Amino acid sequence: MIIKNVGIVGAGQMGCGIAHVAAMAGYKVHIYDLSPERIEAGLATINGNLARQVSSGKMSDEERKKALALIKGSADINDLSDADLVIEAATEDETVKRKIYGQVCSVLKPEAMLATNTSSLSITRLASATDRPERFMGIHFMNPVPVMKLVELVRGIATEEETFSAAKEFVGRLDKTITVAEDFPAFIVNRILLPMINEAIYTLYEGVGSVEAIDTAMKLGANHPMGPLQLADFIGLDTCLSIMQVLHDGLADSKYRPCPLLVKYVEAGWLGRKSGRGFYDYRGDVPVPTR
């Protein structure tokens, strides 16, 4: 299977990050999202991140222009019809993803591959909402995509070897390191990382420490590059909650119970950096803790 044209569904932080690294590797990329404004904002973010890489000497301005010229975007799903591989990076919600697969499959070439960047959902169950479970799998990038080296590859029960090999080759061309995970809730990274973040939120909820105390403790006491609450805001609190719910439901163990404070923040629409407020308020010059 030869991949030349890559389609992305969802112009959020992950979709744009994947578009960025795919274009840098020379793939032609088309980003589809429901909202033209989001696509425009996403393309501006990609340009900003590429420009940072030019300023830090990681690429030339010529390379930035070349990569940018390979990325197009539209709110018309028919524009994915040329894609050899579509990576779905829409909201972490099974209903949303299943609906997208119905729409995408109706415009895709029969031989095209479809992959999901889901953080937690069952690949086998998502595959069953497509017309091509044998050409469907999980390709799970980490955030921020241009910086993080790892990609988890996850097969569903029906994924064919040819699909898996094509995904491996694609990810290899992006200069990322692969780990293979079995199709269990939240795979490897999030099975370990999200309970830690959820525990940090319980630590805040129970008053053991303030937002700043908890983040400082883990940054300086455990050498984490970001504190767990800062990281939760970075990932998106809606995504964190969805992952905890998938772990709780899928593994049926109370140790994965989402912290009620996390639920409350999501209910308030305080989703972290992307909405301007989460455990920190990002609307001013510097982030200010909200508790």
Ligand X SMILES: NC(=O)C1=CN([C@@H]2O[C@H](COP(=O)(O)OP(=O)(O)OC[C@H]3O[C@@H](n4cnc5c(N)ncnc54)[C@H](OP(=O)(O)O)[C@@H]3O)[C@@H](O)[C@H]2O)C=CC1
Ligand Y SMILES: CC(=O)CC(=O)SCCNC(=O)CCNC(=O)[C@H](O)C(C)(C)COP(=O)(O)OP(=O)(O)OC[C@H]1O[C@@H](n2cnc3c(N)ncnc32)[C@H](O)[C@@H]1OP(=O)(O)O
Catalytic residue among 30, 88, 152, 242: 152
Is 140 tagged catalytic? yes
Per-residue DSSP letter, 258: P
* Residue 114 near ligand X by CB under 6 A: no
* Residue 89 near ligand X by CB under 6 A: yes
Cα 135 from Cα 155, distance rounded (Å): 10
Cα 173 from Cα 165, distance rounded (Å): 12
Amino acid (one-letter) located at 65: K
Burial class (CB in 10 A: 0-12, 13-18, 19+), 278: buried
* Residue 146 near ligand Y by CB under 6 A: yes
* Residue 144 near ligand Y by CB under 6 A: yes
Q: How far is the CB of 187 from ligand Y (least distance, A)?
A: 8
Q: How many residues lie near ligand X (CB under 6 A)?
A: 27
Which among 114-122, 126-134, 178-186, 211-219 is the span making contact with ligand X, rule CB under 6 A?
A: 114-122
Assign 224 to helix, strand or coil: coil
Q: Which of 5, 119, 198, 242 binds ligand Y (CB under 6 A)?
A: 119
Q: What is the CA radius of gyration of the chain?
A: 19
71-74 and 85-88: which strand pairing?
A: unpaired
For the chain, helix, strand, coil in percent to 5 are 50, 15, 35
5, interface contact from ligand X, ligand Y, none, CB < 5-8 Å by kind = none
* Residue 143 near ligand Y by CB under 6 A: yes
Residues that bind ligand X (CB under 6 A): 9-15, 33-35, 38, 89-92, 96, 100, 117-119, 141-143, 235-236, 239, 274
> Active-site residues: which are they?
119, 140, 152, 190
